[in-house]
Chain A
Amino acid sequence: MSTTTAPNYQSDQAIAEIVNKYGAKPMALIMILQDVQKHHRYLPTDTLRLVAKEMNLPLGQIYGVATYYKSFSLKPKGKHHICVCTGTACHVRQATVIVDKFQRDLGVKPGETTSDMEFSLETVNCLGACALGPLVTANDVYYGNMTVSKIDKMMNKLRGKKTEEEAEAEEAA
């Protein structure tokens, strides 16, 4: 489940394990790519080649699927994954103000990652927790009824967590 697994792009073993879990049938391709993406946080080109080899499928088909579906990314993702729900219910509760705020603060558009690889900003069409709209998830944690000032708190927490970890690492060293 961890999204912070250290990327290991050349890991034939890991890819083979994922493919074996589902069996090398074309039907499982989307799920295999989802698991690969979970492992690397994105789909590196090398791994797509490996999947093609393991599944005995043309690379073109795999590339086609990887670029067709919205949930796949061929670009590396940041350490923290911020996702703003822009479903209709959130939209009428001013989700655009929230998206604008993240764009301004992070300096990236939805679908992009900050240059320091810390934050990726994304929008999703509906998470189905409409009672909590506008809704933001950060690393799969839900933040409901968001306002611009709650974003500041949330971001401080995310940034703060990082420094705490660093502090711990320093202490350990």
Chain B
Amino acid sequence: MNPGRLSSPQALIDLRDQLINQREENKTIITVCAGTGCLACGCEAVTTAFREALQQSHLDKDVEIRTTGCHGFCERGPLVVIQPEGMFYQRAKPADAKVIVDRTIKNGELVKKLLYRDPQTKEVIVHEKDIPFYKKQMRLVLGKNGFMDPTSINDYIALGGYQALAKALTTMQPEEIIDEIKKSGLRGRGGGGFLTGRKWASCRKAKGDPKYVICNADEGDPGAFMDRSLLEGNPHSVIEGMVIGAYAIGSNDGFVYVRNEYPLAVKNLSIALTAAREHGMLGDDILGTGFRFDIEVSRGGGAFVCGESTALMASLEGRAGEPRAKYVHTVDSGLWNKPSNLNNVETWSNVPLIIEKGADWYTKIGTQGSKGTKVFALTGKVNNTGLVEVPMGITLREIICNIGGGVPGNKRLKGVQTGGPSGGILRVSTNGEGIPESGIREEEKVVNLIDLPVDFDELTKVGSMMGSGGMIVMDEDSCVVDVAKYFLNFLQEESCGKCLPCREGLRMMLSILTRISEGKGEMEDIAVLEEISRALSDTSLCDLGGSAPNPILSTIRFFHEEYVAHIRDKHCPAGVCKELVSHAIDENCIGCHICFKVCPSDAIVGKPKELYTIVQEKCIQCGACYQICNYNAIRRVKRDEGEIVQRRAQEVWKPRIKAKSAATA
């Protein structure tokens, strides 16, 4: 159904009501998640299988299949949710489609093997909303993702979409909108946390014409993917936010700068833009109000620094994306030296919510200084990887342990990294144990940040930052020196090289850290790292350099003893830094010889079903055996201590496969 351009807000309401009436309330809908995570797991084949299964059962008229955007629980993909009941099936394979149609759709029975089982309580959970991963979340921005086909504007309108735009255009003056956003306390979700309302007000006041409105979708933080999921799963909410913002600021031209690595986001956004134009939500005379605004998509060239506002605008102009000093703000002189207002994807998505439900409602969520919700990409060594949306002020414990389900494989939780390369690594632990007081510098009283409330200010206070919302969990197998080195290496590669502190400082710090990770560090290196860090934050041109020391400073602060171990004891406690470890096989070996097969240097010797050993002189410490071993038999120990482990193993090792087969015989 294409009603053409809607000429008034009333036409939009009529269309919504018509859509709702047409849709049978109790119609069964099979929703299949088609976010990038689930696509990578093969959800397309699952959708096809459902289509075939429904046709075979002649149910294709009665049951709808809807491919939706990201549901967030990427760990369990491909996800299938049967609506309206909300039955949640996980890790569905194409072969399961027929089973689900035959049993659940036809007979209302559950397919038990596809249901979620809580790994902690072993309880089987039927409905999406009852799963611990979702239970503690507050999905305001991501909420619609699971219910709509992102390529269907009708789905969005039926869910109440574009009503906020109608309200803003017809009942509010631009100043009122800005006041409402100011009152809501909405802060930029891209990292800086600047007050959105204040930015809009400055841009509205700025002299210059035309004015531009830009959406920053150059999500370059490794380990963050909420902006991509929003653009893929609910592009209309971003468009709606941008139109409202443009009206408030007084702009007629908008741009979305999106990473080229996100082809699906580009595709869904382009489809949404076309549909929005056809329906009169973009273009001349939006909803018959006379307001004109349109949006162009620009694909980024793949440079992390282009997430910075001035660099992004340079890139939009078709130049190399180098930042400039911000003596003059971009709201006064940005894109083509005109007043430009840049906000991040998630920020724009929050705008319709605030306009629709009011700033008073919005300010009830969150903390004093940070209102609303934040989407985090919870990844790394955590059981439930995925996108989580939580109210500001929730503790790290609730995110990692309750929503995330803790660390897999009985490993010890060690730290959590927030804010991407500009953030820091925080020391967290689920039990007070295992944190040596001596490890923290004396002046530090707080040794465990697991109960830290997460918001903009709290994270900054402990030396990290909100960033775009990446949250990478680390367990005892992650080496903080190695992770700090990883971020420095990343930043050093991504530094545009325009200003000296960033270009040379990062290079210098990386070489020092590399030395430390190779066991060639000096104790004075720590002080030098801190000194360069200070110079970098004081003198860099943009925030890439300015916040680059965070990973270093936070690890020195919270994991001082690991630096000391690397420097003084030539020991990597996590066993990651190649130059400081030896690989060895202990008595857990069952003789499956899988490590023997993967060893690239023929260093592993032994016979099947017997204890294998690593010839220490031949081992190149590549870690292939460690990664592949299913029996926890490969140990990463201090350099030259491998032989001790293996000698002990030879004394106590007992054949397992033989004993097991004898027992069963």
Contacts and interface: CB of A to CB of B under 8 A. Distances in A.
7 contacts: A30-B298, A30-B301, A72-B301, A126-B224, A129-B37, A131-B77, A148-B624
A28 to B, nearest CB: 7
A2 B648 CA distance: 56
Interface of A: 25-31, 33-34, 61, 64-65, 68-72, 86-89, 91-94, 96-97, 100-101, 104, 124-133, 135, 142, 144, 147-149
A149 B385 CA distance: 24
Given A31-B299, A88-B486, A142-B40, A125 B74 contact: no
A113 to B, nearest CB: 18
B222 A87 contact: yes
Contact of B302 (A31, A69, A147): A69
A100 B622 contact: yes
B299 A129 contact: no
Contacts of A64: 319-320
Given A64-B319, A64-B320, A131-B74, A149 B223 contact: no
Given A126-B221, A131-B386, A148 B627 contact: yes
Nearest to A140: B263
B75 A131 contact: yes
Contacts of A70: 301-303
Interface in B212-248: 219-225, 228-229
B628 A147 contact: yes
Contacts of B225: 126, 128-130
Nearest to A85: B222
A94 B478 CA distance: 9
A142 B298 CA distance: 25
Given A34-B301, A65-B301, A125 B381 contact: no
Nearest to B381: A92
Q: Which 9 A-B pairs have the closest CB atoms?
A: A69-B301, A128-B225, A142-B40, A87-B222, A131-B74, A89-B379, A71-B302, A26-B318, A130-B379
A137 to B, nearest CB: 9
Interface of B: 36-37, 39-41, 74-75, 77, 219-225, 228-229, 260-262, 298-304, 315-321, 377, 379-381, 385-386, 417, 420, 470, 472, 474, 478, 483, 486-487, 490, 494, 496, 594, 597-598, 600, 622-624, 626-628
A130 B624 contact: no
Contact of B624 (A92, A97, A129, A135): A97
Contacts of A135: 40
B639 to A, nearest CB: 18
B261 A30 contact: no
Contacts of A92: 380-381, 472, 474, 478, 483
A132 B222 contact: no
A88 B470 CA distance: 9
Contacts of B622: 97, 100-101, 104
Contacts of A126: 220-225
Nearest to A96: B623
Contact of B377 (A91, A94, A100, A130): A130
B75, B494, B623 interface centre (most CB from chain A within 10 Å)? B623
A30 B315 contact: yes
B490 A125 contact: yes
Contacts of B228: 128
Nearest to A95: B486
A88 B600 contact: no
Nearest to B417: A88
B483 A97 contact: no
A125 B37 contact: no
A3 B529 CA distance: 45
Given A30-B300, A89-B379, A126-B223, A97 B317 contact: no
B627 A94 contact: yes
Nearest to A104: B600
A65 B222 CA distance: 23
Given A33-B301, A87-B222, 20 more contacts: A27-B298, A27-B318, A34-B260, A61-B319, A65-B318, A68-B321, A68-B496, A69-B302, A71-B302, A72-B301, A92-B472, A94-B627, A125-B490, A125-B494, A128-B37, A128-B262, A130-B380, A131-B75, A142-B40, A149-B628
B44 to A, nearest CB: 12
Nearest to B496: A68
A130 B627 contact: no
B319 A148 contact: no
A41 to B, nearest CB: 15
Contact of A125 (B304, B377, B597, B627): B304
Contacts of A93: 380-381
A45 B390 CA distance: 50
A133 B627 contact: no
Contacts of A88: 222-223, 379-380, 417, 420, 470, 472, 483, 486-487
Contacts of B320: 64-65, 68-69
B377 A101 contact: no
A144 B40 contact: yes
A91 B480 CA distance: 12
Contact of A130 (B39, B223, B496, B594): B223
A65 B319 contact: yes
Contacts of A86: 222
Nearest to A130: B379
Nearest to A127: B261
B594 A149 contact: yes
B600 to A, nearest CB: 6
Contacts of A68: 301, 303, 320-321, 496
Nearest to B315: A30
A69 B486 CA distance: 20
